[in-house]
Structure 1
Amino acid sequence: MTATGTPGTSGTSAETARAAAGTPAESGTALRICPLCEATCGLAVTVEDGRITKARGDRDDVFSRGFVCPKGASFGELDADPDRLTRPLVRDADGRLRETGWDEAFAAVAAGLGPVLADGDADAVAVYLGNPNVHTMAGALYPPQLLAALRTRNFYTASTLDQMPKHVACGLLYGDPQAIPVPDVDRTDHLLILGANPVESNGSLATVPDFPGRLKRLRRRGGTLTVVDPRRTRTARLADRHVAIRPGSDALLLTAMVAVLFEEGLTCTGGLAPHLSGVAEVRELAREFTPEAVEDACDVPAADIRALARELAAAPSAAVYGRVGSSTVEFGTLTNWLVDVLSALTGNLDRPGGSMFPLSATARAPRTGGTADGATAVPGKGFALGRWHSRVSGHPEAKSELPVVALAEEITTPGEGRVRALLTLAGNPVLSAPDGERLEKALGALDFMVSLDPYLNETTRHADVVLPPARPSRSPHFDFAFNALPVRNQVRYTRPVLPPGPGERSEAEIMARLLLCLAGTPGAPAHTVDDAVIARALGRAAADPHSPAHGREPEELARRLTGRDGVERRLDMMLRLGPYGDGFGARPDRLSLEKLLAHPHGIDLGPLAPRLPEVLRTRSGTVELCPEPVRRDVRRLRTALHGRGTAESLVLVGRRHLRSNNSWMHNVPALRGGSNRCTLQVHPGDAARLGLADGAHARVTGDGGEVTAPVEVTDAVRAGVVSLPHGWGHDRPGTRMRVAAAEPGVNVNQLLDGTLLDPLSGTAVLNGFPVRVTPAAGTPSGSGQESAHKSASAHESPSGAGAETASAAAPGAG
């Protein structure tokens, strides 16, 4: 590995000096990494009189090179949203939330959680993390300490609403659920995309600034783009081949492609072969899933399936990329497993132009060994599912998480381990999960609830204490999660653009004080939390013979750390101990916080490089292509294949808008209007058959309830499929999101009762489920307002087939 790569070019000397120093200014130009989706583009923002008046792409950013989407351009408007909370809220005896000071708010947290914790039942406190936690430094750094302090098994996140199948598949294949290969888009000759629309979403579980430009460059250099999606998305319009698959049948299609590879002798694992196990077992599993056997279920001709497999195998290099649309279905884990199996069988796993494992600057430094490339497999404990189960329905845990759909019953069902208190961090599960009305009612049965969130949304309005973090412009930014998923290794950090406003508290300080409340020392200085984390981490590093700090005194190492506060000191420590780090002076030409600050546009760390077997943590030390949980679930797929008919019932998928990101982005005026509308897209043939007219209203009914939405007749959806966007349904009383409430739309998750799950990952089936569509008798009160039916509730779907979610960037999203 190179030490620090090539620094980015600088802008004006004054801008560079200011950015390097990270000095907030009331006026001028400053740099900021955009926190509004997973692309992490660099922004250059104009500040006038303490307010961001303009945001544009930073042309000198080493990663994004000036690209910006409408969300990034609206950063200033979002930052200044007048509906953001600026002071804590505490619920009075009369049940009303009122503004208060920080000391009183934390005293209320200690008083509310104290009696629940005192009973000694750790599982009586539940934690829910929303997607925005991975978009902030504090959201990445402090939740592990909160969970360790609580020792609860009632841990829930938005991952079981969008991406958990990918984590489970990678955990089973590589032994590490965080070892996620990404498509090497810049070097591939053939890109196969399933259930993703990165032209509009900017990508997910793959950090790719300017995904549209990269796809166009792929085509210009003679590469091939194939998109499998039931909708003709903006991504599909760029494709050489668009396969309009029946929603939910991705696993059948991919298994048939695997069968073709074996049947026609197209497998070629090459140098990857020594690192693979289970190849013969995969061949046997796929044998009966021939293209002819699955074509009716997928509604894709057998000849086309064979062509897909042959083209993938024949390409000089190829990458397969599947996301939310192929995850939030009944076979989501199998689909994600098959994505990587196809890469392995064609020799495209862990090689340039294929699917590769990035190396973050804050990752654990690779352990070197005796292989030719300097890396060796370190057999690990592997990855286990179902180490414990939810109390009521017995849902197995995955990656220490329980399915979000289990939370309501864990609150309302009496008995030992009942959830009595809830801590939500940057989340809105009342909208983001199925069966939201049941969850909303359950929140009323809690003894205590505290939310860290800048919005009074559909979930936080039930909290006893709401703790709002400072605005994004007042926060530093480093992408811990997304730097582990980029299509090119790089490292960037930006300090706050503006100083904190009156009474504002950073998210880091709020989380640290929450930890102190749990420790029974609410009055202790917040920095003591960071000091303790640093001391433990440096102690482990000093004792680790593989660490560059081995044998050093932890106290001496701590004194060498730089940074203005605990967050920066922790970042400096992680950079120095990481794979590109200076090892606290052992490798002085390498990375540290000071060196990173000297390059305000970031440091390029080079293209992705092969990392097998280094990344493996399986018990065998190989990529285990046929793990037992997958083998068992293929039996379920076999049953589904033989039980599938070709009935004409409609199925529903979500969709993504370029100028939208979960429910809270609807509160930004600049991002409303245009194509960003809550409509039911219907194919012209289905519209004629059902008596639906463009612009009229239709009633959509599912197992959980119904909604009424305006119809948009379009051939962008295939016949038999209807589509509603996620993130709408802002019609609940007691929230403070006025722009969103003015045009509430309808919430697609109202159609679900929460009983459909991918059993391996616990992920809710949010796409490809059957619905009934009929003309509505009349327009309901309020544009696009939902009909109340069967105690139906408003929900926010964070994902959709071909309409992937990029996690929201400010607390308050689902």
Structure 2
Amino acid sequence: MQHTPVTGTPMPAGLVPCNVIAAEILNDHPQRFHAMMIDSSNPAHSLADSAEFRRALAALDLVVVVDVALTETGRLAHYVLPASTQFEKWEATFFNFEFPGNTFHLRAPVLDPLPGTLPEPEIYSRLLQALGAAPRRKVKLLRTALRLGRPVFKAVFAVMIAADRSTLAMAPYLLYQTLGRALPDGAQAAAVLWGLALRVSRRYPQAMRRAGHRSADDLFTAILENRSGVTFTLDRPEDAWAHVRHTSGRIPLHIPELLDALAVLPDTPATHTSDDYPFILAAGQRRASTANTIFRDTTWRLRERDGTLRISPGDAERLGLIDGATAQITTSRGTAQATVEVDDRLQAGHAALPNGFGLDLPTDDGGTERTGVALNTLTDQHRRDPFAATPWHKHLPARIEAVTG
């Protein structure tokens, strides 16, 4: 497994755990991070310990944000490249793996993009060209091959990959600039799916054929033409074990790191509260009136507009809190205030704030206004699991006090 260059944190699936990014920046290590390209993500708001992460962003030499909105992170960036929304470009949903039929839905745009915005593939293509990293000779050769038909195009692409494995890293760009330009209805961004269709045909040929696709090209065409989605593979129960990729054909239960952690559990503190922080705060409770922060507007929320602090009746009485009162929440990393909601579903010693609040939204006078608590002003990046550095947002020691006057 790879490890991060500064803190030596394990990188599951080759990914840097979000909670160590700040530590990888705020140091004088020669291999520290110097720049970040942030695409459709808002880490200044959504990662633990916002104050520390904002300090890390300020320490970088370059921060570029690609997003559909000017987010909290975008306001801290050196450059913001505005992207078209999901309704203005070719898009897809990837929560698509089921059984027995695996489906994929390529969505066509239904609105014209706002002036000055571009789909992400176009943004990245232009960046590659501006950096002088675009493989122009390969693009020219593939365009010539495509004029001779898809089979010739496929053969030339395969020869390129065999001759130079770095071609694979540039495959999305190459497909976008060649096959993409020939697709109907402006579906240039969908060209990358041709490469994925080839992968499916090689890895799961029988399942693909059971779903009604004789070849990768047939599957690609079906994805483009079926505007309500397509089943790309059809599995059978007896094929399930073929998806286990370990050479033994078994799922390994002996995971040394996990067993080591289990062995020290008897000596691990089971209580994380203290006299200073006697409550356990769930910092991000999903509720019927909450959503992820992709909705940068408060008008859709018809109830609980401010995001209440839920607390048990016994704790509320002891602290002198009633419905509608204001409470102050304090953790090791910050302080916030919220409206109280007494809730008998909460156990004594526990409290909860909702997810999806605390965005800095624009006002008519050009400023910003925050509604509810930005949870990561309270969370601590060091309170995390030792394996993937996942934050313990549902178990945050806190102090709750009534606000008087």
Q: How many angstroms does 1:660 deviate by?
A: 3.7
1:667 to 277, 297, 320: 297
1:679 has 2:280 as partner: no
1:389 has 2:16 as partner: no
1:490 has 2:103 as partner: yes
SS in structure 2 at match of 1:757: coil
CA distance in 1, matches of 2:235, 2:385: 32
1:569 to 165, 175, 191: 191
One-letter code aligned to 1:710: T
Superposition map of 1:606-755 within 5 A: 609-610=236-237, 611-640=239-268, 643-644=270-271, 649-653=278-282, 654-667=284-297, 669=299, 671-731=300-360, 736=362, 741-755=368-382
SS in structure 2 at match of 1:614: helix
1:413 has 2:40 as partner: no
1:776 has 2:403 as partner: yes
Superposition map of 1:93-242 within 5 A: none
Q: How many angstroms does 1:723 deviate by?
A: 0.4
Count how many residue pairs are aligned between Structure 1 and Structure 2: 370
Other-structure match for 2:392: 765
CA distance in 1, matches of 2:341, 2:111: 43
CA distance in 1, matches of 2:223, 2:113: 23
Question: Do the aligned partners of residues 457 and 644 (structure 1) sit closer, same or farther apart at CA in structure 2, a change above 3 Å counting?
Answer: closer
| Contact in 2 for aligned 1:483/1:491 (Cα 8 Å) | yes
Other-structure match for 2:125: 512
1:161-201: CA deviation from partner (whole Å, max 9, x where unpaired): xxxxxxxxxxxxxxxxxxxxxxxxxxxxxxxxxxxxxxxxx
1:443 to 52, 57, 82: 57
One-letter code aligned to 1:515: L
| Contact in 2 for aligned 1:652/1:770 (Cα 8 Å) | yes
CA distance in 2, matches of 1:775, 1:525: 68
Question: Do the aligned partners of residues 658 and 604 (structure 1) sit closer, same or farther apart at CA in structure 2, a change above 3 Å counting?
Answer: farther
One-letter code aligned to 2:389: G
* Amino-acid identity (%): 28
Question: Do the aligned partners of residues 389 and 442 (structure 1) sit closer, same or farther apart at CA in structure 2, a change above 3 Å counting?
Answer: closer
CA distance in 2, matches of 1:473, 1:575: 24
Normalising to structure 1: TM-score of the pair? 0.41
1:455 to 51, 61, 69: 69
Q: How many angstroms does 1:690 deviate by?
A: 1.9
1:59-99: CA deviation from partner (whole Å, max 9, x where unpaired): xxxxxxxxxxxxxxxxxxxxxxxxxxxxxxxxxxxxxxxxx
One-letter code aligned to 1:691: G
1:756 to 383, 391, 401: 383
Superposition map of 1:265-414 within 5 A: 384=1, 387-391=2-6, 393-414=7-28
Question: Do the aligned partners of residues 497 and 487 (structure 1) sit closer, same or farther apart at CA in structure 2, a change above 3 Å counting?
Answer: farther
| Contact in 2 for aligned 1:398/1:762 (Cα 8 Å) | no
**Higher RCO, 1 or 2 (CA under 8 Å, sep at least 6)?**
1
1:129-185: CA deviation from partner (whole Å, max 9, x where unpaired): xxxxxxxxxxxxxxxxxxxxxxxxxxxxxxxxxxxxxxxxxxxxxxxxxxxxxxxxx
1:363-416: CA deviation from partner (whole Å, max 9, x where unpaired): xxxxxxxxxxxxxxxxxxxxx4xx22340x332222212222322233231231
Once the two structures are overlaid, the 10-residue window that deviates more, 559-568 or 495-504, is: 559-568
Aligned-residue CA RMSD (Å): 4.0
Q: How many angstroms does 1:760 deviate by?
A: 0.8
Other-structure match for 1:144: none
| Contact in 2 for aligned 1:563/1:593 (Cα 8 Å) | no
Question: Do the aligned partners of residues 527 and 467 (structure 1) sit closer, same or farther apart at CA in structure 2, a change above 3 Å counting?
Answer: farther
CA distance in 1, matches of 2:161, 2:54: 48
1:388-445: CA deviation from partner (whole Å, max 9, x where unpaired): 2340x33222221222232223323123113222211111111111221122123222
Question: Do the aligned partners of residues 636 and 468 (structure 1) sit closer, same or farther apart at CA in structure 2, a change above 3 Å counting?
Answer: farther
One-letter code aligned to 1:494: R
SS in structure 1 at match of 2:107: coil
| Contact in 2 for aligned 1:581/1:590 (Cα 8 Å) | no
CA distance in 2, matches of 1:572, 1:712: 52
CA distance in 1, matches of 2:345, 2:235: 35
Question: Do the aligned partners of residues 659 and 686 (structure 1) sit closer, same or farther apart at CA in structure 2, a change above 3 Å counting?
Answer: closer
Q: How many angstroms does 1:541 deviate by?
A: 12
1:732-769: CA deviation from partner (whole Å, max 9, x where unpaired): xxx64779954521122222231111111111221112
Other-structure match for 1:539: 158
CA distance in 2, matches of 1:612, 1:666: 41
Q: How many angstroms does 1:475 deviate by?
A: 0.9
1:672-696: CA deviation from partner (whole Å, max 9, x where unpaired): 2314541100111111122211111
CA distance in 2, matches of 1:536, 1:590: 13
| Contact in 2 for aligned 1:470/1:506 (Cα 8 Å) | yes
| Contact in 2 for aligned 1:616/1:622 (Cα 8 Å) | yes
Question: Do the aligned partners of residues 621 and 775 (structure 1) sit closer, same or farther apart at CA in structure 2, a change above 3 Å counting?
Answer: same
Other-structure match for 1:217: none
CA distance in 2, matches of 1:456, 1:525: 37
CA distance in 1, matches of 2:230, 2:345: 41
Other-structure match for 1:250: none
SS in structure 2 at match of 1:449: strand
CA distance in 2, matches of 1:728, 1:625: 39
Normalising to structure 2: TM-score of the pair? 0.77
| Contact in 2 for aligned 1:562/1:568 (Cα 8 Å) | no
CA distance in 2, matches of 1:407, 1:559: 37
Other-structure match for 1:423: 37
CA distance in 2, matches of 1:594, 1:682: 55
CA distance in 2, matches of 1:646, 1:457: 34
Unaligned runs of 5+ in 1: 1-383, 544-554, 779-814
